[in-house]
Chains A and B, each alone.
Chain A
Amino acid sequence: MRGKNLISILILAVLIFPIVGCSPTATTTPAAPTVASAPTQQPLKVALLMSGPINDGGWNQSGYEGLMLIKDKYSAEVSYSENVVEADILELIRSYAKQGNNIIFGHGYEYGEALQTVAAEYPDLYFIQIAGYETNGKNLGAIESGDAGTLGYPAGIAAALLTKTNKIGLVGAVDIPTVTNEFLALEQAVKKYNPNASIVTAYTGSWTDVESAREAALAQISTGVDIIVPNGDAANVGVIRAAQEKGAMVIGTQRDQMAVGPDVVMMSVIYPIYNQMVNVVDLIQKGEFKGEFYLLSTADGGILLSDFNQKVPKDIQQQILDGFELLKKGQIQIVLPTAEW
């Protein structure tokens, strides 16, 4: 029996080791020595918590870029935690608060409640929820970039005008409102600019699963889709790869994805949340922060268009730019379901 137990224990040992979850990491980047700030002044300390990796080419990378912009502009001492799991959110925010970080960003709606709790415990520090609505009128505010639907709409114009088969594919990660609303706006643009085009939508369920996104895109292409709009952060790479294999086109979202697929990416619709992160730090530094919801509207640069691929005909480029101008002027009404935040 001893021998049998031993074997069982060894089996257990073998089983335990592969079962380690994702590995969250944190990095503190000390501020570069500065000449500008007074020597006696304590450097501004800023922290950012993200649920994914900083190099995902999408949502989390944009947050990381914002942090780096803040670091450069204010010679701030910045630190961040990536791949944060739900069970650690509250304690990590408390730890950052305890270490005296003046401004703590939570990158996504999942940070709202924890930020609310810790903001009440540390009234002298500032807390910012990115892309959420959690505010307390004092030291907790929320920021967002671009009015709802204005990311998807220009992508829709481009897809509608560029498709030759009149079949457009959408590949999203998870069907959360921030993704579904953009796809709804996209559909409205397609209906207006190319009523004959049909749309197929797929959700992979993961922000990081490149292979699933690739499979979904390949499946769409096989049914005749010739242009795909992905909205899945790191998973976008899979869509671009599929397009390269089968010769389809891609409209990038979130970030400029031209570099990932220069032959297939026609243009990208950019979500510059990093600029609004800098703006909110400006507000705090000027003493004008009131713990509210701060939106960088699309008219003020909350959504940007990248340069066009040379393959996009000039007249189509002009139509996309014109449509985007109308959108910025508020002359296009995007109908979205009322959010129940």
Chain B
Amino acid sequence: MQITAPIKVSWRLKYILRGSFTILIPILSVFLSFLVGAIVILWSGKNPLLAYSFLLQGAFGGEKEIATSLAKSIPLLFTGLGMTLAFRGGVWNIGGEGQLQLGAICAVIVGTMVSLPPVLHVTLAVLASAAGGLLWALLPAILKIKRNFNVVITTILFSYIGVLLTSYLIGGPLRQAGWGRQTDPVAETARLPILVPGTSLHAGILIGIACVIGVYILLSRTTVGYQIRAVGLNARAARAAGIKTNRITLLVFLVSGALAGLAGSAELLGYQYRLVEGFSPGYGWDGMAVSLLGNMNPFGTLLAAIFFGALRAGANTMQVGVGIPLSMNQLLQGLTVLFTLAGTVIHIYSKKGEASNGGS
């Protein structure tokens, strides 16, 4: 055990390099996805520079544009954060879409059928949505813990049930009298206030940031968080070390479900106000991309959500300005995730190589 100074320095350097690599991968993958996107735009006969200038202008061109970008990031922030927590705890809960739907259903029930004073009403509606998401995560959690069902499959299937449940409710029990397939709008008292007038940025962003800080503290500053990470890294080792892994799995499942449920209430109480068919354009699924791009880190998730929100807001402007399909946004989003994954894989392999080289 004789450590000389030069070795120490190079070890530190490596550590710093590795740290910067985790930040470098997302940035590089975003850059690459835009590069490939430009080729596709060029291919479709449009000018990519003009298109991207509209995209940028639509995303960050002014106070209102920034507010819109932030507004578009809110549901993604919640679903992404839910997945970040779940993934860190080794729970592949990718059923955010269904949990979001249940959250929205509970929020719209409280928002339309209960009458309460302003602050209390919206608080109750938000809490109801968290409860709805939590409930929708509870069943897959029980199936996992008691019967060891594959979480990826159960949560996906529960998502479809959630979407269909919404479809049933807006066509039946919750349908607005005399109208098409939609519910009544939630009462004024149950709405999240708009923060920047003339835009759709609402107070949901504040709840979202509070949740980011909450998840960060939970994961990094508490014993439970340490246990969550331990179970996420190696459940068997964690169990051997005396951690009650089932309890941790249940906790992670429920909290991530509640976070996805909050996405439903944020979109419903802050923006759309009523439940309709196609209420969520896949925010639950997009949450996976957000979490992965954010390196499964709470603050990374926040940044990634803002990036995808800006992409969506910018894509709307790009669409109107240059006539490029909004699916371009989905293409860019998909490419970003693909490159992030590729980067992560390379990163893991390089680490493995290191381990086998330096292990002797």
Contact = CB atoms under 8 A, between A and B. Distances in A.
Interface stretch (A10-18, A209-217, A243-251, A252-260): A10-18
Interface residues of A, number: 50
Contacts of B73: none
B152 to A, nearest CB: 7
Nearest to B233: A1
B279 interface: yes
A79 B282 contact: no
Contact of A88 (B198, B277, B326): B326
Contacts of B171: 174-175, 205
A13 B319 contact: no
A340 interface: yes
Interface stretch (A22-30, A224-232, A320-328): A22-30
A85 B180 contact: no
Contacts of A96: 320
B254 interface: no
Contacts of B180: 109-110, 174, 176-178
Interface stretch (B5-13, B21-29, B209-217, B330-338): B330-338
Interface string A23-62: 1111110000000000000000001000000000000000
Nearest to A108: B180
A23 B338 contact: no
10 contacts: A2-B352, A12-B288, A13-B341, A16-B285, A20-B282, A28-B322, A87-B280, A87-B281, A91-B200, A95-B321
Interface in A113-159: 113, 121
B220 interface: no
A271 B266 CA distance: 39
Contacts of A90: 200, 271
A5 B341 CA distance: 12
A92 interface: yes
Contact of B319 (A1, A19, A81, A177): A81
B107 interface: no
A216 B356 CA distance: 63
A91 B316 contact: yes
Contact of A87 (B267, B321, B334, B341): B267
A49 B271 CA distance: 19
Contacts of B348: 2, 5-6
Given A16-B285, A339-B178, A91 B68 contact: yes
A8 interface: yes
Interface string B67-93: 010001000000000000000000010
Contacts of A333: none
Contact of A92 (B92, B177, B279, B316): B316
A88 B276 CA distance: 13
Interface string A63-103: 00000000000000001010101111011101110010000
A47 B200 CA distance: 21
Contacts of A25: 319, 325-327
Interface of B: 58, 68, 72, 92, 94, 152, 156, 167, 171, 177-182, 185, 198, 200, 233-234, 267, 271-273, 276-282, 285, 288-289, 292, 312-313, 316-317, 319-327, 330, 334, 337-338, 341, 344-345, 348, 352
A200 interface: no
Contacts of A85: 278, 281
Contacts of B322: 28
Contacts of A339: 178
A94 B62 CA distance: 14
A16 B282 CA distance: 11
Contact of B279 (A81, A86, A94): A86
A28 B323 contact: yes
B282 A19 contact: yes
Contacts of B345: 6, 9
Interface of A: 1-2, 5-6, 8-13, 15-17, 19-21, 23-28, 47, 79, 81, 83, 85-88, 90-92, 94-96, 99, 109-110, 113, 121, 174-178, 205, 339-341
A92 B58 CA distance: 11
Given A6-B348, A8-B92, A340-B177, A20 B327 contact: yes
A26 B327 contact: no
A176 B326 contact: no
A307 B133 CA distance: 55
Given A24-B327, A85-B281, A340 B200 contact: no
A24 B276 CA distance: 18
- Minimum-distance CB pairs A-B, first 9: A23-B327, A340-B178, A25-B325, A176-B180, A28-B323, A26-B319, A24-B326, A95-B320, A19-B285
A178 B289 CA distance: 39
A28 to B, nearest CB: 4
Contacts of B72: 91
A87 B292 CA distance: 23
B237 to A, nearest CB: 9
User: A79, A91, A94, A121: which has the most chain B beta carbons within 10 Å?
Assistant: A91
Contacts of A81: 319-320, 326
Given A15-B94, A176-B179, A176-B180, A26 B324 contact: yes
Contacts of A79: 320, 323
A99 B344 contact: no
Nearest to B342: A13
Contacts of A15: 94, 152, 156, 288
Nearest to B182: A110
Contact of B289 (A6, A16, A94): A16
Nearest to A18: B285
A134 B184 CA distance: 16
A329 B197 CA distance: 50
Given A28-B320, A86-B279, 7 more contacts: A19-B285, A20-B282, A91-B200, A92-B316, A94-B68, A95-B58, A176-B180
Given A81-B320, A176-B179, A177-B179, A13 B338 contact: yes
Nearest to B167: A205
Contacts of A92: 316, 319-320
Contacts of A176: 179-181
A116 to B, nearest CB: 12
A139 B337 CA distance: 44
